[in-house]
A and B are shown apart, each in its own frame.
Chain A
Amino acid sequence: MRNERDMTTNSAFRTPHSALEVSFTLNGTPTTVSVPDSERLLDTLRYRLGLTGAKEGCAEGECGACTVWLDGLPANSCLVPIYQVRGRRVNTVEALDPAAVAPLLDAGATQCGACTPGVVMTALWILQHPDVLATHTVRELMAGNLCRCTGYDGIVDGIEAARP
């Protein structure tokens, strides 16, 4: 990992895209990657680690198709520089329990499926933290996951049906 010694020769400002070693916990497993320092978490997951569940819908934080959990909180992986996950926990849709997603399928929460990996990451986060429903509605919490197909009712109904 780059450290301040680079600064003394000013090389930090001359070498574009230098490689960086980043260690983090991915879906419970300690993981180390060597990546260009310009890479986003979404790129590392999809193109280096083969975890293609998170989708790139907009690349600017609007659509939520790239949602993962960072230290247990939903975040858009398209807006996370890879070096910011060092020492942290990342969870992706690949590690979810398929049984937990069943109520969403039953309620018609998915049609074309493009938004679904992101939708289920936010939905299951809500279901694992039901205390947030004391202050927030499901719709407010799901507002960062755009869906062009379902009209959202299926998504909201699925979460309501699965609530503890």
Chain B
Amino acid sequence: MSVLLPGSRREALELLARSNGAAMPIAGGTDLLVHWPQRQEEHDRAYLDLSGIAELRPVEWTPDALVLGGLTTYWDVIRDARVGRELPLLAVAARQVGSIQIQTRGTWAGNIVNGSPAADGVPVLMAYDAVVVLESVAGREEVPLERFYEGYKQMRRRPDQLVVAIRIPRRPYTFQRFVKIGSRRAQAIAKVGLAVTHSAAGGGGWRVVAASVAPTIRRCPSIERLLEEQAAVHSPEELLPAIARDVTPIDDIRSTAEYRKLAMARVLFYDVFRGREQGAGSTDHGRRMTDNG
């Protein structure tokens, strides 16, 4: 293991290009430093430290987008009062990541590239129609986050590309909600995560994004269709066929497939299908639930 310490974006991209895939970017290290002793034995691996690249850190508001940098942390977003007013799910989800010590270090780009199906940052970004801005020495490329993942931990990023920005369109929303179900309130990885938005503005409509219920975080087109059609739904159980079309949960260390489907049905029914009537004007955008209440 060795490290590369670029001082600028340009230098980082050149080092990455020259390493032929052997260099791995490191930002907040909150995913990479876990199980560190094993990683020290990776003799052919070089870590490319992004933390010294000041130009990747700032958050920028343009007339039509919020642009997060490749190094923007959860805490940077939590402390931006404008986020709370305009794109509140970003702050709601950021506050549910780990703990304050993780939020000050962990980055949005790291959450995207780590590729966990249980991530908390990715679902809200996807529900807000975020675009991942990738850059290599060959130039820039933009990939909508909803098309970024191709399979479990498989994504449309080449090893020579950095995530240099994440662009989130500024739209007026009539409904926005993020619900995470975990074993306890803090430091718990989601058993089920749901981010739901509705916007009447261009390209909007309903977006229902589910986490921890498929190999990748993904949109749920069947559920979205029921919402678009304003289908009458009378119980959580009535949502199960649509859920079965949209997601493929598994039994694992944190939960079972059965529980995940039921939990998802109940959250969708009580928070979204029932909640949509009082959607506009509601300031309660998020919830964290534990299994025992």
Contact B100–A122 (Cβ < 8 Å):
yes
Contact B29–A84 (Cβ < 8 Å):
yes
Given contacts A81-B49, A144-B187, contact A122 B1 (CB under 8 A): no
Task: Give the residues in chain B near A133, CB-CB below 8 Å.
Answer: none
Task: Give the residues in chain B near A38, CB-CB below 8 Å.
Answer: 1, 36, 40
Contact A144–B98 (Cβ < 8 Å):
yes
Chain B 79-116, CB-CB to A under 8 Å as 1, else 0, gives 00000000000000001001111101100000000000
Contact B43–A81 (Cβ < 8 Å):
no
Q: State how many angstroms separate the Cβ of A36 from the closest Cβ of chain B.
A: 9
| Complex Cα gap A46–B49 (Å) | 23
- Asked if B6 is at the interface (CB within 8 A of a chain A CB), the reply is yes
- Asked if A163 is at the interface (CB within 8 A of a chain B CB), the reply is no
| Complex Cα gap A50–B187 (Å) | 30
Could you tell me the dominant secondary structure of chain A's interface residues? loop
Task: Give the residues in chain B near A12, CB-CB below 8 Å.
Answer: 2, 4, 46
Chain B 17-39, CB-CB to A under 8 Å as 1, else 0, gives 01100100010111001111000
Contact B33–A7 (Cβ < 8 Å):
no
Contact B6–A61 (Cβ < 8 Å):
no
Q: State how many angstroms separate the Cβ of A22 from the closest Cβ of chain B.
A: 10
Task: Give the residues in chain A near B250, CB-CB below 8 Å.
Answer: none
Task: Give the residues in chain B near A140, CB-CB below 8 Å.
Answer: 95, 100, 186
Contact B105–A141 (Cβ < 8 Å):
no
Q: State how many angstroms separate the Cβ of B287 from the closest Cβ of chain A.
A: 14
Task: Give the residues in chain A near B52, CB-CB below 8 Å.
Answer: 86-87
Task: Give the residues in chain A near B40, CB-CB below 8 Å.
Answer: 16-17, 38
Q: How many A residues, CB 8 Å from partner?
A: 44
Contact B29–A81 (Cβ < 8 Å):
yes
Contact residues, A19-47 vs B (CB, 8 A): 20, 37-38, 40
Query: Residues on B close to A: CB < 8 A?
Result: 1-6, 11, 14-15, 18-19, 22, 26, 28-30, 33-36, 40, 43-47, 49, 51-52, 75, 78, 95, 98-102, 104-105, 185-187
Q: What are 30 A-B pairs at a CB distance below 8 A?
A: A2-B3, A2-B4, A4-B6, A6-B2, A7-B18, A7-B19, A12-B46, A13-B19, A16-B1, A16-B2, A16-B40, A18-B2, A40-B36, A61-B98, A61-B102, A62-B187, A74-B101, A76-B101, A76-B105, A79-B28, A79-B29, A79-B34, A84-B51, A86-B52, A140-B186, A141-B100, A143-B185, A144-B98, A144-B100, A144-B102
